[in-house]
Chain A
Amino acid sequence: MTLNWTIGSVQEALRAGTISARELTQDFYARIAQRNPELNAYLALSPERAYAQADRVDAALASGEPLRPLSGVAIAIKDVISTKGIRTTCGSRILEHYTPVYSATAVERLTEAGAVVLGKTNCDEFAMGSSNENSAYGAVRNPVALDRVPGGSSGGSAAAVAAGLAVVALGTDTGGSVRQPGACCGIPALMPTYGRVSRYGLIAFASSLDRIGTFARTVADSAVVMSVIAGHDANDSTSAPIPAPDYVAELQKPVRGLRIGVPEEYFGPGLDPEVRSKVEAGIVLLERLGCRRIPLRMPHTDYAIAAYYLIATAEASSNLARFDGVRYGLRVPGATLRDMYGKTRQRGFGAEVKRRIMLGTYALSAGYYDAYYLRAQKVRTLIAQDFAEAFEKVDAIVTPTAPTPAFKLGERTSDPLQMYLADIFTVTGSLAGIPGISIPCGNSSRGLPVGMQIFGPHFSEGRVMQLAHAFENAGGFSN
């Protein structure tokens, strides 16, 4: 079987009758059985549901019904997104035996569109990490280079798509957790505007930052998935009441004449020289496609990691208070209620989650709130203003996705701060609420993928994908 299925080729094969949805699903599970022991990309498989859905697709085809946008398309779902009846652990021991009683809106919409959910993918615990090494269920290996991390926190979703263990996958991005693993694994990875995709059923890490995003083998596939999952949802009060455009149609718009901002602050001394040269070459390719390069200054970029790690941890300390051994998940018995809380959370949470809960609790505590949390929220305003001012002059902003290609497993686990710096170019867009995509722009001399990031103004994911699509078609990912 080919490893390179796209939504288009799946649907063409189904229409031509060269393969059925059931056979396709069987092929994916066979491939997962072969590769997953090594990659550890999937934490749970849902074959019963997948085959039932595949059979519905085959029956619909047999009765002459038209295909839906994702009919028969094998999809993987990050394990922080709720799936009714399928174990959902968030990569944490505290939810080891948790099975949601409802599905996320995004999952419902995918299923209605005909997608076949293969299973749940590994991730850093509660999406907190940049390497997938914070999963309670073991690290994921990068399919491109097995001794390296796949990035994080959506490492399992990125690895699954890159290794051909799913056609597309959902991830979540709070500070870079879709874009950075996309860069590490060499596939397009889209974070839409905050509020564009419902967060209903996404188990919260940092509510003002969390977004559901996509992994795919092509930008065109990202556009199909985004068209299905985007749009208002009454169950998420932060969901934007703006109808989703047809992103597939938007891909065809010409990129000639678009103004591309290149902010100097993203090309400083910390940037790996090979990443710099690949992204520079990517910008030149965009210029050849008729885009106009405009140098930019975004003076608050260097403060983004500091602001992000205060805001995200503050929100996490509040959101994760719900894991207390009462309503779901692990309970460790204790003599009193407080005793039970303390023991349950100590045993259930891993080191990074505890570190972030404590940092966030500290930043919000009496006497420190103004110095840490409030100050970070003000700096968030300054970073959002940098983007707002830039978008008066440019249509999109191009940067590296991450300062280095995928690093080695174990290389950064002893130094949390060093790990945080992997997100230095992605957290800015997270704080500003704007959309961003990481698109492969070549490989390092060791054969490791390099990602180029394209940001656009709020609700411009169509334009962001349009640029990435033109770049991809122009051969931007080849060396």
Chain B
Amino acid sequence: MKISREDVLRVAELAHLELPPTEVDTYREQLDSILTYVAKLEELDDSKVEPMAQVLFGAQGDAHPELREDQLAPCTIADDVLSGAPDAVKPFFRVPKVIDR
């Protein structure tokens, strides 16, 4: 077994998913089967292999190492953005209480 019920609950908590108890066992079984499958990567000797950090590393398109200029530009869509929010009081997004005191 690659992943336990407790692991699933912990991962759900990290990912901010409030799983109903009825779903936990199904996800555990499915994740276990996927993790068992991906374990085939252990067959390969990767001790001398660099992880791929850039898709076009060394390729023709890897031609933008220099950072662009930091240019200030006015943000003209703030009101539009806020108008799509579930609960906004301009210029803020409003959320439930974060800190208890």
Contact = CB atoms under 8 A, between A and B. Distances in A.
Interface of A: 98-99, 101-102, 193-196, 208, 234, 237-238, 240-242, 300, 302-303, 305-307, 309-310, 317, 321, 324-331, 333-343, 345-346, 349, 354-355, 357-359, 361-362, 365, 372, 374-382, 384, 416-417, 420, 431, 433, 458-459
A380 B96 contact: no
A303 B38 CA distance: 8
9 contacts: A240-B60, A303-B44, A321-B15, A327-B93, A338-B16, A345-B17, A359-B35, A375-B46, A416-B33
B90 interface: no
Contact of B41 (A99, A193, A306): A306
Contacts of B60: 240, 242, 458-459
B49 interface: yes
A362 B11 contact: yes
Pick the 9 closest A-B CB pairs, nearest first: A342-B18, A377-B51, A240-B61, A331-B86, A306-B38, A433-B55, A378-B46, A101-B80, A341-B16
B84 A98 contact: yes
A260 B59 CA distance: 21
B49 to A, nearest CB: 4
Which secondary structure characterizes the binding site on chain A?
helix
A241 B86 CA distance: 38
Contacts of A237: 64
B31 A355 contact: yes
A377 B46 CA distance: 10
A328 B49 contact: no
B27 A358 contact: yes
Given A306-B41, A337-B98, A380 B27 contact: no
Contacts of B31: 355, 358-359, 362
B92 to A, nearest CB: 11
Contacts of B77: 101-102
Interface in B20-43: 20, 27, 30-31, 33-35, 37-43
B36 to A, nearest CB: 9
Given A303-B40, A365-B11, A380-B52, A337 B63 contact: no
Contacts of A459: 59-61
A365 B14 contact: yes
A379 B16 contact: no
A340 B96 contact: yes
B61 A378 contact: no
Contact of A101 (B12, B18, B63, B81): B81
Given A354-B17, A377-B53, A459-B60, A382 B12 contact: no
B37 A306 contact: yes
Contacts of A338: 16
A433 B60 CA distance: 12
Contacts of B39: 306
A379 B15 contact: no
A327 B16 CA distance: 16
Contact of B14 (A241, A300, A334, A361): A361
Contacts of A361: 11, 14-15
A309 B34 CA distance: 9
Given A303-B41, A345-B18, A377-B51, A240 B56 contact: yes
A369 to B, nearest CB: 11
Contacts of A305: 37
A340 B95 contact: yes
A192 to B, nearest CB: 11
Nearest to B80: A101
A376 B34 CA distance: 14
Contact of A378 (B12, B40, B49, B97): B49
Nearest to B37: A417
B17 A346 contact: yes
Contacts of A372: 38
